[in-house]
A and B are shown apart, each in its own frame.
Chain A
């Protein structure tokens, strides 16, 4: 059962400096409580997107538009890993925790990057995953939670890195794996899975945070007799996809968890006629039971590999003169959605449609029902089995998984987007073999095209969440945008995501670049902010890889002058104003 695991103590008894570091953190570790997660201190970064609502926002303002030009690196530390780093560093009172590819966790001194402990997972020798990345750890009590890729949920002692417990979610031989950051809600650890290209049936599972005891497991693909089960013909639900590969958001007011559900499987809708709930949807879960309380499906009968795996942000906004308790989501399908959230006593639909507009060129939707948000399609833009069709944006969408950010001071949402790219798919019926590629399309029949005359490809867009209008658009001429965004009360927008290895600070009101720094590699991880001894820091991991790398390779064939590869090698950086 148990896989080989180990925590490597970096300090030995011979090293007095390490002893003092261990003593400091051993005695002084501050447990993470429900109250702290619901109302995180500005000086810490306790969860992936900073708060339960998923804002990726820091209320710190010591680093601001006036002094950001003096921002300099104060430390950096090598992770020892190539391949894409996609995890934000979490910070709890001076101790930093970062996940890396291959399910490694580093515990660092947030003052100087010194390694306090390191956990390395020893994966089975025949294990492979489409993505071996890690998208973050979770903190609760005196533990750190990380997904072993297999997929296994692992609880580590925050002070030592020792394994406290492990729980296997599924058998990796059948195509399941996991890279997401667990979500902690009221004493439970919620975890999701990847595998939508291998014919899995997605689910969210919850475990007792203290003991690891399984609490509930909710499939995103309903079976026969379940609500929504009639949206799947015959036994297609068994391999219907609907992976849950990004972390949910949580609304303490309604006590609902919002979780994103990925693409349907195989990729072509004519092999599974129907709406195919809950693929390409947001589901609302009761965190204590796992019951699905409601859902909103962005596009039915998904045929474009447009996962809607990112949970919406929990944001209140004004629309049509009324304040809406809402959800906001820039979707992979290229539309920006304003939704409502509620928890009626009798159950029923808790996610309502309010408004949607495209934020990149999208040629698939013919219309969107103004009452329900349900789209109609241009049929010639819907690929199928033996039916090649092109569509915009490509399968990577208007944006992929990188996080948008909401700044309550400016009232704007900042979206990392990609424009001027399209794709085509030509489907077939593929033999199902457990653990093997099962999308219904061979790789050479997945097309990626760009507008060669375009003046930009990646961009950061700022939208007024209440007016529903775009305010500014910072465009990148020679790169796609793969960076998650951090906005701050200092009026800044921090973002990497470009192929020039740069980390930038933009003016949140205008989109003007105020500061930039060239790092070791490309940044595809979310930036965070924290304080130590009254001083504000910005931290981010730089390490190119995963889909940004794959897409860059394709672009180097399409666009003259684009580098074939970007240097790899994960480094964590911390910056402060000097």
Chain B
């Protein structure tokens, strides 16, 4: 019943083209909402983020329709608030009030970059321990990840974090 390999795959790809706003990539003007904990679904403001880390996970949300773009994990971003003086110029250019946003999908095997290493102040992948420097455009500092995390430019509007542009860099990981 499943012998139609290649033609089926083409149909599948076409059908998967995201018309669904919840599956669309982060769009300039989107706000960001918490993924976890008591504040789940709440819009993220700069003051909600602890200065110096750890990071918080967030999904983009269309502020007009209130659609949260959580239909794909690839939209999951991490937000961390740092001293702007610590940020390298490339990171600072896409930051707002010290807050930087990166894709939370590890470039190694696609796991969540949801952990924080307090001693070295690095972002940490939950699966195989890859570490990324949030101050330096999420450069890989340790572990098997082959490249840095994509950066999501942000700005603030009345203290609320807002997406300022599309991802810079490739989201996701290498597969076959």
Q: Quick check: is A442 within 8 A (CB to CB) of the other chain?
A: yes
- CB contacts (< 8 Å) of B111 on chain A: these are 128, 130, 437
- CB contacts (< 8 Å) of B1 on chain A: these are 165
B128 touches A550 (CB 8 A): yes
**Which 6 interchain pairs have the tightest Cβ spacing?**
A128-B110, A4-B9, A102-B176, A126-B73, A4-B12, A437-B126
A442 to B55, CA, bound (A): 13
A436 touches B3 (CB 8 A): no
* The one of B2, B35, B74 that contacts A165, using a Cβ cutoff of 8 Å: B2
B109 touches A4 (CB 8 A): no
B5 touches A5 (CB 8 A): yes
A554 touches B129 (CB 8 A): yes
- CB contacts (< 8 Å) of A121 on chain B: these are 176
Q: Quick check: is A22 within 8 A (CB to CB) of the other chain?
A: no
Q: Quick check: is B112 within 8 A (CB to CB) of the other chain?
A: yes
- CB contacts (< 8 Å) of A127 on chain B: these are 110
A553 touches B110 (CB 8 A): no
- CB contacts (< 8 Å) of B172 on chain A: these are 125
Instruction: Other than A126-B72, A545-B144, give 5 A-B pairs with Cβ distance below 8 A.
Output: A165-B1, A433-B36, A436-B112, A443-B115, A444-B117
B2 touches A80 (CB 8 A): no
A4 to B9, CA, bound (A): 4
Q: Which chain A residue shows the least CB distance to B13?
A: A4
Using a CB–CB cutoff of 8 Å, the interface residues on chain B facing chain A are 1-3, 5-6, 8-9, 12-13, 35-37, 72-74, 105-106, 109-112, 114-119, 124-129, 142-144, 172-176
A437 touches B37 (CB 8 A): no
Residues 118-137 of A at the B interface (beta carbon under 8 Å): 120-123, 125-132
11 contacts between A and B (CB under 8 A): A4-B8, A102-B176, A125-B72, A128-B173, A129-B109, A130-B109, A163-B2, A442-B115, A443-B125, A443-B129, A550-B129
- CB contacts (< 8 Å) of B144 on chain A: these are 545, 549-550, 553, 565
Using a CB–CB cutoff of 8 Å, the interface residues on chain A facing chain B are 2-7, 80-83, 101-102, 104, 120-123, 125-132, 162-166, 431, 433, 435-437, 442-444, 545, 549-550, 553-554, 565
* The one of B5, B118, B142 that contacts A7, using a Cβ cutoff of 8 Å: B5
Q: Which chain B residue shows the least CB distance to A121?
A: B176
A549 to B143, CA, bound (A): 9
A549 to B74, CA, bound (A): 25
Chain A contact residues, majority secondary structure: loop
B126 touches A443 (CB 8 A): yes
How near does chain A come to B120, taking the closest CB pair, in angstroms? Answer: 9
B176 touches A120 (CB 8 A): yes
Q: Which chain A residue shows the least CB distance to B38?
A: A431
B109 touches A443 (CB 8 A): no
* The one of A104, A120, A128, A436 that contacts B109, using a Cβ cutoff of 8 Å: A128
- CB contacts (< 8 Å) of B73 on chain A: these are 126, 128, 435
- CB contacts (< 8 Å) of A549 on chain B: these are 128, 144
Q: Which chain A residue shows the least CB distance to B124?
A: A443
How near does chain A come to B12, taking the closest CB pair, in angstroms? Answer: 4
- CB contacts (< 8 Å) of A102 on chain B: these are 175-176
B9 touches A125 (CB 8 A): no
Q: Which chain B residue shows the least CB distance to A1?
A: B2
- CB contacts (< 8 Å) of A104 on chain B: these are 176
